[in-house]
Chain A
Amino acid sequence: MTIVLQSIINGLISGAILMLPTVGFTMIYATLGFPNTAIAGMVVLGAYAGYVASVHLELPLALCVVFAAIVLVPVGVGMGRVVFRQFYGRKLLAPLIAGVGMFLILENVVRFVWGNKIRSLNIPLERPWTFGGLHLNPDKLTIVVLAVALVGGVFACLKFTPIGRAIRAVSDDSVLAEIRGINSARAILVVWVIASGLAGAAGVLMAADTIMTPLMAWEILLPMFAAAMLGGIGSPLGAVLGALVMGLTTDLAVAFLPPTYKSAIAFTVMVIILLFRPHGIFRVKL
């Protein structure tokens, strides 16, 4: 029983972290119509940007997250400009392949600069809180609070600001949005800013939760796909729910399976969704 409860706690933490890249991934899918695998590469780059901030600049975790998000925004926006812009509105294949190429490039830039060695952020050790055999580190709570705050901020922006309304309109129907005088180029630019900032922040939070290696790119890739598919690809609220479900499923399954099979669980979830509910299990709209 304790194992199950502890897995639920761990699952909620990893699910909260998974929300960030999945929301970005699904927003890019909604506005531009292709699955952007490069997001996973940006997550790794974000983690190592956080490493610079944490170890070399000795910033606290919250500021490391902000630092990584700020570093990643020009990377994502530049990538959208240089690599992806000409594919907007084209068939799925070309941007998809370009995304896989960018994923490889980003992952290996990290390997080139920092090597394959396992590293961790410079976070002071604290005694974990224990209640009846359950453990929770105070810094894990910080991770969850930061993740929820960032996603909450994005949702507030989508819901209440003019640019958020423009993004939602472009996601619904970009032609109609253009006709109504919405500047879709600007909306897409903001989507890239949000997606890359969230990816950078997610990398730091992942590294703070466990450790970092360039392989993180693969650890996030399949759960991110699975979470987006669970929530119905293209729906930000669905992405949040999907990420939490994926986090819980993975950590509960890992309590009984060898932990090296984490990616395999995400893959199984993907196949099951495709078989039974290809449009996702949550029909939510935002």
Chain B
Amino acid sequence: MISYLISVGIFGCFYGLLAMGLSIQWGMAGLVNFGQVAFFALGAYGSAVLSLNGVPIYLSIPAGMFLAGLVGALLATTTLRLREDYLALVTLGLGEVVRLIAVNEMWLTGGAAGLPGVPRIFPYATTQFDGLWFLLLALLAVAVTYAVLEVTGRSPFGRVLKAIREDEAVPRSLGRNVFSFKVQAFATGAVIAGLAGALFAHHLSLVAPDQFLPVVTVYAWIAVMLGGQGNHLGAFIGALCLMAILELTRFGKDLLPFLENEQLAAARIIIVGVLLVSLVKFCPDGVMKKIRKPKNA
């Protein structure tokens, strides 16, 4: 039971990091990223491939983050220059393309079977303690990311981002390079997703394409919507709530034993979709904001 809770907590941290990445992109800069799973996958594959080829983990994880950030910066530079309302469509496409590459480029990614045997971070810990140590590490990553985001949010950089989100004509008229700020915000969010991916790869010690389905992005969006725009801690708490909801749906098998596994998997995603639609419909400003000040919403 304890190890089950630890494992749920670890996944909560992964989704929390993905959500915090969205929190800087959408929450602070108003950029809509529907391909967070792509940066998650890039971080995971980047770190996994390097460490399988003998690069030590403390170098491969930053390299995975760098890869995710680089692709994020390139994508933002190409798409944000002229029409940013297409960003959502292009990022949605990126998620599929990264997964296609992972499935097809056998020599690099191991194809559909994936890459097994990715080195663990705590190789000497017994399995019992491995989870606990890893949970502490993941919580540390969340805490550091949160601190960085909060400090950034108060810095001049963060203030410009929020100004862009509200009305980009104002910072532009004050001489800020709005485009460059957006690219930096987008790349930062991608780096955070890359961190989540790298940790994920070394936790499961396996990376495979079917771990990077588009629904992962939707999980991150639900977490952010639960937390509310620009609320980084809320995004993390949102991710934990989401994990609780997802784990509860696992008991569906006991309640509805006549369903096939395939049907249960589909039913879970239907529930996730309904949750997302209802969140947008009933509390577009975030659940936590709604609870805190019900009249102002």
B92 and A263 form a contact (CB under 8 A): no
Q: In the complex, which residue of chain A has the Cβ closest to the Cβ of B83? A: A278
A97 and B96 form a contact (CB under 8 A): no
A274 and B86 form a contact (CB under 8 A): yes
B221 contacts A by Cβ under 8 Å: yes
- Chain A interface helix/strand/loop/mixed: helix
A267 and B96 form a contact (CB under 8 A): yes
A185 contacts B by Cβ under 8 Å: no
Which stretch (A68-76, A107-115, A146-154, A238-246) binds chain B?
A107-115
Give complex CA distance A271, B35 in Å.
14
A166 contacts B by Cβ under 8 Å: no
A66 contacts B by Cβ under 8 Å: no
Chain A interfacial residues counted at CB < 8 A:
41
A112 and B82 form a contact (CB under 8 A): no
Chain B interfacial residues counted at CB < 8 A:
44
B32 and A275 form a contact (CB under 8 A): no
* Complex interface bits, B208-243 against A, C-beta within 8 A gives 1, otherwise 0: 000000110010010001000000000000000000
Q: How far is the CB of B279 from chain A (nearest CB, A)?
A: 8
The interface residues of chain B lying within 8 Å CB-to-CB of A115 are 260, 262-263
Task: Indicate whether A92 sits within 8 Å of B85 (C-beta atoms), given known contacts A100-B34, A275-B78.
Answer: yes
**Would you give 5 A-B contacts (Cβ < 8 Å), ordered by A?**
A104-B215, A108-B270, A270-B89, A275-B78, A275-B82
Task: Tell me the A residues contacting B by CB distance below 8 Å.
Answer: 35, 37, 83, 86, 92-94, 96-98, 100-105, 107-109, 111-112, 115-116, 218, 221-222, 225, 229, 258, 260-261, 263-264, 266-267, 270-271, 274-275, 278-279
Task: Tell me the B residues contacting A by CB distance below 8 Å.
Answer: 26, 32, 34, 75, 78-79, 81-83, 85-86, 88-90, 92-94, 96-97, 100-101, 103-104, 214-215, 218, 221, 225, 260, 262-263, 265-267, 269-270, 272-274, 276-277, 280-281, 284
